[in-house]
Each structure stands twice: as C-alpha cells, then as structure tokens.
Amino acid sequence: MAELPSIRDRFRALTQARLLLGRAGQGLPTRALLDFQMDHARARDAVYSPLAADGFADLIERPVIEVASRAKDRQEYLQRPDLGRTLDPGDAATLPAAGGDLAIIVADGLSAMAVHAHAASVVGALLARLPDWKIAPVILARQGRVALADEIGAALGVDMTVILIGERPGLSASDSLGAYLTWDPRPGRRDSERNCVSNIRPPHGLSYEVAADTIVSLLKSARRQRLTGVGLIDDGRRLSP
C-alpha cells in the first residue's frame, strides 16, 4: 500500500508560499535556507535584468515601436519612480497620432523576466480576441511605470490603453505579469481610474487564455460605459481560472 503524503507535503503542493519550513535550532533547515537564498537572487535578477526587445515584433507578428521613460538607467528608475511615469521627450515625438480603439503597451516594470516569459503570448491572445478593433502599433517601453501608458495613449490618440508590465517580484514569484486598463488615457490619471488583472504566470497564476478573456471582457465593458476604474461594472461573461 502506497504511503499517504504528509500534511506538510499536501500543503506545500497547493502553494508556492513558504509554509511549514521546519527549523534547525534557532534557524531554518539547510534546504529551506538555500531555497530562500535562491528565490531572493531570482527576485533581484528580475528587478535588475534589462529588457530584451530583439525578436519581440516577430513573436507577435506586428510592428513594434520602442520608447523609454525619462529614467536614464535602472538605478535612476528605482530611485525616481516619477521619471518612469513620463516619456523621454525624444521618444514622445516618434509616436504617430493615428487614433484607434486601443493601444497595447509592454513595459519592463519591476520584472523584465515576466515580460520575456509571458508578454508575447498575452499580446497574441488579446489580438486574436479583438479582430474588429482598430489597434495602434504595439509599444515596447523601457524603464516604464504603469502611468507611462497615459502619456503614450494620449500621444497616439487612442480611446483606451492596456499596459502589460512586470510586477514587483516576491520570494515566490519573480515573473508575474500584470495588465492595467485605462479609458481616455492622459497625464494625471489616478490609479483609481484603472483596472488591473494581476498574476499572469502559468501554471502558478492566471493562464494566458483566462487572462486574455478577462482583459477583453473589461475592455468591452469599458468601451460601453466609457470609463475604467472603481466605477466600472464588468458586464461581460464572468470567468473562472
């Protein structure tokens, strides 16, 4: 007869959270300590790794415009969050005011690893679900914060933006991607005027399909109601993970 898994093993199989690690004297067991150090190193790598843009346009099979925020390097980006929210003046002039229903922006945020792992798949899933929408060229932004999408969307003249951005890494998730939606993007928008779909990172978070379905449901509701944020009622199909 096969041995049943222990309560500890059953809990550990349900989550990546640091549960029931045990102890060795006043400290952690060696295995748990080494795992902690490895996860900490992954989180630091996620924050400091540069965004690799090569091949992204080929992956999504669409033109890509590369821009950067006013933060000149990673150190300044981390020390000056305000600079990550505004475009480099030279890049702002390169954006075509073509208008449209939606702009999709991809930004490194606090985890370029998340962008490398998941962004192309999410962009592809969104485009497949919005065949009748007029979508601006995809924007790839370096040293970007969420609010950078406001200035980009205003320059492009689109009705709405969705920015896919690397989320702040933790010790159990260094590659989580988030999506933030904003109706009528323009500088000065508040966070309460956005909607967020978080933790896109299969197999431990949202799958690409469920994330894209949820984002598209919110986008369509936002277009009907002409708003995003705390006042938005998602009147689309309710989805489960």
Residue 134 belongs to some domain of the structure:
yes
Buried b (16+ CB within 10 A) or exposed e, 177-199: bbbbbbbbbeeebeeebbbbbee
Residues 222, 238, 62, 65: what is their CA dihedral angle, to the nearest 10 degrees? 50
Q: What pLDDT is attached to residue 32?
A: 79
CATH number assigned to the domain comprising residue 180:
3.40.50.11240
Residues in the chain: 241
Q: What pLDDT is attached to residue 2?
A: 59
- Cis link prior to 241 (omega < 30° from 0)? no
Look up the pTM and report it. Answer: 0.88
Residue 83 belongs to some domain of the structure:
yes
Q: How far from 79 is each of 85, 165, 194, CA to CA, in Å? A: 13, 18, 24
Residue 38 belongs to some domain of the structure:
no
Tally of CB atoms within 10 A around 13? 8
Residue 24 belongs to some domain of the structure:
no
Residue 234 belongs to some domain of the structure:
no
Residue 122 belongs to some domain of the structure:
yes
Q: What pLDDT is attached to residue 240?
A: 39
Buried b (16+ CB within 10 A) or exposed e, 66-84: ebbbbbeebeebeeeeebb
pLDDT tens series, the chain, 241 aa = 556 677 767 766 667 677 667 778 888 888 878 887 888 888 888 889 999 988 999 999 999 999 999 999 999 999 999 999 999 999 988 899 989 999 999 999 999 999 999 999 999 999 999 999 999 999 999 999 999 999 999 999 999 999 999 999 887 788 999 999 999 999 999 999 999 999 999 988 999 999 999 999 999 999 999 999 999 988 765 443 3
Q: What pLDDT is attached to residue 25?
A: 81
Looking at the structure of the chain, the number of domains it has is 1
Residue 204 belongs to some domain of the structure:
yes
Domain ranges, residue 110:
56-225
Q: What pLDDT is attached to residue 6?
A: 75
Residue 32 belongs to some domain of the structure:
no
